[in-house]
Homo-oligomer: A and B are copies of this chain.
Amino acid sequence: MATRIIRAGVIGATGYTGAELLRLLSGHPHVKLHALTSRTDAGIRVADVFPWLRGRTELRYVPPDADQIRECDVVFFSTPNGTAMEQAPPLIRDGVRVVDLSADFRLRDPREWEQWYGIGHAAPELLEEAAYGLPEMFRDRIRGARLVANPGCYPTAIILGFLPLLKSGLVRPTGLIADAKSGVSGAGRKAELGILYSEVGESFKAYGVPGHRHLPEIRQTLATVAPDPVEITFVPHLVPMVRGIHATLYAELLSDADVQQAFERAYADEPFVDVLPPGAHPETRGVRGTNVCRIAVHRPSGTRVVVLSVIDNLVKGAAGQAIQNMNLMFDLSETAGLDAIAVAP
């Protein structure tokens, strides 16, 4: 177990996942925040942007090309899609390890990336090397990785909910349905009409039903454990709350297996997946601020299995999982800095 202090940098530390990285890294026993970048806020103290960090850090934002970034042991990208694929490669060549919280290195196929994100990929040679940062599936690859592609928030909740069923061949891999609901912070910290309080407060809606960018990532990852091609319908919804994802997953059982046991076995040794007893219904507030994915599995009737999977989109769905990956990469305790209890109610 390493005891030296890891110097960490955060590129694009002005959004919600960036702020959450700062919160979690500030409390991490083996990390020292070394550099935070912001194109627009260079020179400004981070605690002036996020007052809840007052007294915790005196750091000021530096420009994205500042020397301090290259001095880091690990750099987190919490940037808009398209940035990390430009800026990460030189850092990696310099020996800095990178965890990318954007979508840049999640898809293996550069053409699929281009299709969903609308621009050509700038570093296709790294796509094969990048480890998909879901420790429950790829822990060993992550340990040795120079570059980790941190999963999207929806994919994390959905993949962890389907994984035990598909891996053990209990369900038909076609006809899967992921009806997912997210708090508004999942849409990021940007000035857009559609995520104003007055637009989403006291209301509920689906969005992106014709196609959402997280779909190919879910499909690609589930395909690695399914015997046959995976076919999945994914419908995201916007919930009038700040944090939390609740995925309600539907599949058809192929045999009369004990699904509860399948989940309990699959996650028996996982520090951040909590399988509830039969009949339970997890709440998003119960994981608020934590890196936990809490899951319940139901068999309401016939061959139908229903899985309820909740995470905090900013933690297990972003910054917390990124730190879990960093812990693995640097041979730290996997739970270091991630042991807070949910702030509920």
Contact = CB atoms under 8 A, between A and B. Distances in A.
Interface of A: 16, 19, 23, 26-27, 50-56, 175, 177, 179, 181, 183-185, 187, 189-193, 195-207, 209-211, 231, 233-235, 237, 239-244, 246, 248, 250, 252, 274, 276, 279-290, 294, 296, 298, 300-302, 304, 306, 308, 310, 339-345
Contact of A301 (B195, B200, B233): B233
Contact of A246 (B237, B242, B304, B341): B237
* Number of copies of this protein chain within its complex: 4
A252 B16 contact: no
A274 B16 CA distance: 23
Contacts of A306: 209, 233, 235
A300 B178 CA distance: 13
A161 B167 CA distance: 34
B192 A195 contact: no
B341 A204 contact: no
Nearest to A280: B51
B55 A274 contact: yes
29 contacts: A19-B344, A23-B342, A26-B341, A27-B341, A51-B282, A52-B342, A54-B274, A175-B252, A179-B179, A179-B250, A181-B204, A187-B198, A189-B199, A191-B192, A196-B196, A197-B197, A197-B240, A197-B242, A198-B345, A201-B202, A202-B241, A202-B242, A206-B248, A206-B281, A210-B298, A233-B304, A235-B248, A237-B248, A240-B241
A193 B191 contact: yes
Contact of A242 (B198, B283, B342): B198
Nearest to A342: B52
B27 A237 contact: no
B286 A289 contact: no
A343 B197 contact: no
A20 to B, nearest CB: 9
B240 A240 contact: yes
Contacts of A191: 191-193, 196
A205 B284 contact: yes
A284 B240 CA distance: 11
